[in-house]
Copies of this chain bind each other. A is one copy, B any other.
Amino acid sequence: MANSAKTHDVRQRAQDKRPLDAFDRKILGELAQEAGLSYAELGNRIGLSAPAVHERVKRLRAAGRIRATVAVLDGPATGKPLLAFIHVDTSGWGGTQELLAFSELPEVEEIHSVAGDTCMLLKVRCASSQALEGLLARLYDLPGVKATRSYVVLSSYLERTPQAGVSDTLEQPSSR
């Protein structure tokens, strides 16, 4: 695909953000699914030599595009079978800061502020419904927390980290 001249003005950090070429995207695509590949193996999967791949991976890492390489734990298998999303409504912006303290809890996996009919969104994974209740109780202890709505996950059909590619079929307005 040709490289379009117009660039979306995405906010970028003070690192060189040269656009990714096809090789970089392939590398990221592979590593997002399986880090710990040897550079040799990675190289002949995407059609590059090992030293070249090594250089690119180093660049991608330094540029912050590869944030870390981590082991993906199976939540249920490690004793936390209860996954839930919690919407938190606060009055004003008061509760936002205090919510960040919840980062300390290993049960809390994500904290986002969102636009919509709610303010904050949490993803949590607990050992039991009691633990979830305890977490909700601590949420309501915060000043400014007006209400919460919890969505308990019954079944996870897909759960993965950010992928490298984009669907070009999404960019054009669908059939109308």
Contacts and interface: CB of A to CB of B under 8 A. Distances in A.
Q: Report, as a range, how many residues of chain A touch the other chain.
A: 35 or more
Interface string A122-160: 000111101101110110010000000111111111111
Given A8-B155, A152-B116, A174 B134 contact: yes
Tell me the number of copies of this protein: 2
A80 B123 CA distance: 20
A162 B128 contact: no
B174 A138 contact: yes
B162 A31 contact: no
A14 interface: no
Main secondary structure of the interface of A (DSSP, over half): mixed
Nearest to A75: B162
Given A155-B8, A166-B107, A171 B128 contact: yes
Interface of A: 8, 10-13, 17, 20, 28, 31-36, 63-81, 83, 85, 87, 99-100, 102-103, 105-118, 121, 125-128, 130-131, 133-135, 137-138, 141, 149-167, 169-174, 176
